[in-house]
Amino acid sequence: MADTTSNTPAADTAADRARESELSPIGRFLKATELDIRMLGMVGALLVIWVGIHILSGGLFLTPRNLWNLSVQTSSVAIMATGMVLVIVMRNIDLSVGSVEGVIGMVMGVAQAEFLIRVMGFQLGNPWIWIIALAAGVVLGLMIGALQGFIIAYLEVPAFIVTLGGLLIWRGMAWLMTSGRTVAPLDATFQLMGGGPRGSIGATASWIVGILACVAVALMLLNGRSQRKRFKFPLRPVWAESLLGVVACAAILGAVWIANSYPWPIGIVRQYAQRTGITVPEGGLFIAHGIAIPVLIAVAVGIVMTFITRRTRFGRYVFAIGGNPEAAELAGINTRWVTMKAFMIMGVLAAISAAIASARLNASTNALGTLDELLVIAAAVIGGTSLAGGSGTVLGAMLGALLMQSLQSGMVLLGIDSPLQSVVVGAVLVVAVWLDTVYRKRV
């Protein structure tokens, strides 16, 4: 009779324990927590960069003021990077996102400062101005993405060529709209999306958001554990899930504390209030910022995009096409329509980024979004999205955007010239792709 003891659950458990005993303490920790080694490496690199720049800058980098500004500066690039993940995973590229951001920002600026007021007769401060302008920008982004996606998917023109042409076309269109003129000022409510004295939710609301986020983390862990039990998947140790929850909540509440530690002088806020007609609290010398609105928008986009990539049929199709386009098509996936939708999503995200960037400047300029396409692609690649297609994460891309912006912000604090900044950013991108290649050869 054949020996079947190796097929029993007890034997499988014993074999798993034997293999686990051979791992190092770090290996057992990583297996228990199921943490992504590449993600941990990126977080480690980010911390090294922060500490190094903080020391070299004489203690200027890791301050509430700089970190608050860093989070706002990262928001627009991080939003577009979440969409670039879909594009690159499908083995495509979008070189036009910076120019699309620029032309959409110009359209929204002209709509607010000129068209709706001078042509349509809206009064200054009308609450519909910013809504119509934002809606027009989002629709335009959707249309541009659909146009480029259609040419790529259905006319079978390479994405590199289509989006390279788009880079030139949309940048030129932005200039032609106003003959190179800067359009300002923008609607006061629209400016909230850019941060600033009013563009944050305050200390109390920030703590509420932080606590709700911690509750959401706990519910996600509990739901994940119940789903594993339901489908009889291996469970993480209780200590591992507890540790993940504690670390995540500590990071969230720490970010809220930093945001609330950056106060604006109440005099500056009152001066801003006089121009915009808002009210501010009486008394005191400072008012707490809290979490910036563009940061909340970026987090919301990240959550939605993570849900799309992990929980929807469209997201599964994107990764299936990136892994093996021929097999995906033979499996019945409408690869052309999925490709077109990915570029449509990219266009909408470029519109959201344009709103944040122009609101922060309180103006629409022809320089808006210049070279952002390189930062967005770099953020996605540094975040673990493979140029070979088939793999990538939204969280990794957002962390990549934070890393890239940290480098740029740190180099500004250190007084490094702009040309050398470009050299550093380019070198980081090349090293990131090389590391991705080495990692894939070893996996």
Encode pLDDT of 76-100 as tens digits: 999 999 999 999 999 999 999 999 9
pLDDT of residue 338: 97
The closest alpha carbon to 271, from 222, 198, 174, 331, belongs to: 198
Whether the Cβ atoms of residue 392 and residue 383 lie closer than 8 Å to each other: yes
**Which amino acid makes up residue 217?**
V
The closest alpha carbon to 91, from 153, 150, 159, belongs to: 159
Name the token pair of 239: 């200590």
pLDDT of residue 268: 52
pLDDT of residue 234: 87
**Average pLDDT over every residue of 290-295:** 92
CATH T-level fold of 64-199+298-442: ABC transporter involved in vitamin B12 uptake, BtuC (1.10.3470)
The closest alpha carbon to 47, from 298, 413, 402, 408, belongs to: 402
3-class SS of residue 390 = coil
Encode pLDDT of 208-236 as tens digits: 999 999 999 999 999 989 988 888 888 88
Name the token pair of 209: 């958001």
Is the pLDDT reported for residue 432 higher than 80? no
- Residue ranges covered by each domain of the chain: 64-199+298-442, 201-291
Encode pLDDT of 124-151 as tens digits: 888 899 999 999 999 999 999 999 999 9
pLDDT of residue 42: 86
Phi, psi of 94 (to 5 degrees): -130, 100
434 vs 155, higher pLDDT: 155
Whether the Cβ atoms of residue 102 and residue 350 lie closer than 8 Å to each other: no
The reply to whether the predicted model has a pTM over 0.85 is yes
Report d(CA 294, CA 194) in Å as an integer.
Answer: 6
Report d(CA 39, CA 395) in Å as an integer.
Answer: 9
Report d(CA 198, CA 408) in Å as an integer.
Answer: 26
